[in-house]
Amino acid sequence: MRERFWERHTLDELDDEEWEALCDGCGFCCLLKLEDDESGDIATLNVACQLLDTDTCRCSDYDNRFQHVPGCTKLTRDNLSAFRWLPASCAYRRLAEGRKLAAWHPLIAGDATRMHRKQKSVRHFAVSERDVSDDDLEDHIIDIIPCQ
């Protein structure tokens, strides 16, 4: 990877390895979302995809995730703007908005666990979808993003 690529190049100029390295491993992408059919509002739950390791906040089968979870989020340069529910702390969102990476980001801090200590990941609150029945999902809403 190129030195400090996130400061020297636009998101469109990044190669695949650099794009993937931007992921801070927060796990917010892996939280389930419910969209209200009438309003278009998106509710984020504290319930994580069955493949998310809630301790490391990484996918347990990243290379094969789409085979196991067809609705898995695939964040790309082309669809980034469609994911309006990304947290303000997300590296992709920050760079797309012209902001710098957060000090706790692994590329800046040189430590993949600092973000967990700063509680910038889902580690401290996420539960696996394996442990929540579909009937109880609405009880796990932690945020609602209004339709814009």
Task: Return the structure tokens found at 92.
Answer: 């992709």
d(C-alpha 12, C-alpha 96), whole Å: 10
Give the pLDDT of residue 98. 95
Q: How confident is the model at residue 73 (pLDDT cuts 50, 70, 90)?
A: confident
Residue 13 falls in which region: left (phi positive, over 0), alpha (psi -120 to 50) or beta = alpha
Task: Return the structure tokens found at 127.
Answer: 């539960």
- pTM for the predicted model, two decimal places: 0.91
What DSSP character marks residue 60? T
Q: 144 with 33: CB under 8 angstroms?
A: no
Query: For 3-38, how does the pLDDT look when each residue is reduced to its tens digit (9 = 90+)?
Result: 999 999 999 999 999 999 999 999 999 999 999 999
Query: For 51-62, how does the pLDDT look when each residue is reduced to its tens digit (9 = 90+)?
Result: 999 999 999 999
The domains of the chain are located at: 5-145
